[in-house]
Amino acid sequence: MNDTVAGTQGYGVEADALAEQYESVTFEEVHGALLHLYPASPVRALDLGAGTGRDAAALARLGHTVTAVEPTAELRLHGERLHADTALTWLDDALPDLPVLAGRGERFGLILLTAVWMHLDAAERARGMRTVAALLAPGGTLAMTVRSGPVPSGRRMFDVPEDETVALAEAAGLRVAHRGGRADLHGRPGVRWSELVFSAP
């Protein structure tokens, strides 16, 4: 699917280096400030844009039933190899419409969108938020981390206003549970991350 997904531009050819980068930090380091907002008891969880499955595997180890969605085949193959001993369901699918996932009729108590949202343009973000909100189970949690700063060569990224993301989520019926931010864990100059958590009614 990655040949037709604009937001994955550059990821396939750099998959080996990216896999090493992704796995060099832990789930706890990436999500530390948000972990207390994630479901404590096991739920059906969804990692959208799962990359190498670092976060999906961590959620599975916590007892969640996890679906990992990754449109870049090269990253998905790394994930299947690196986390072969972890019970994950891998899917080839992509925002904004997630046609494969939408057709499965599942709802999730936790959805992670880590380092994904800034790859969508404004129209895709509007469609994507409606898609994601519809996948949340009642009382479910959506956690997003969104990059801002310089765009790496060969990538497709947009500067996404935090207020826009909040407005889209609220329009989709979600409630803001957390707004925050952090520095880049890899120390890249000018790169920062917004951290947003929403809950479904």
How wide is the angle at C-alpha 66 spanned by C-alphas 158 and 64, nearest 5°?
120
According to the model, what pLDDT value does residue 2 have? 40
Given the DSSP bridges, would you call strands 192-199 and 175-183 parallel, antiparallel or unpaired?
antiparallel
Tell me how long the chain is. 201
| Residue 64 identity (one-letter amino acid) | H
Three-state DSSP class for residue 156 = coil
Specify the pLDDT at position 3.
43
How much is the pTM? 0.88
**pLDDT (tens digit, 0 to 9) for every residue of the chain, 201 residues total?**
444 565 555 455 565 565 566 777 899 989 999 999 999 999 999 999 999 999 999 999 999 999 999 998 888 888 899 889 899 999 999 999 999 999 999 999 999 999 999 999 999 999 999 999 999 999 999 999 999 888 877 878 999 999 999 999 999 999 999 999 888 887 788 889 999 999 999
- 93, 50 contact by CB (below 8 A): no
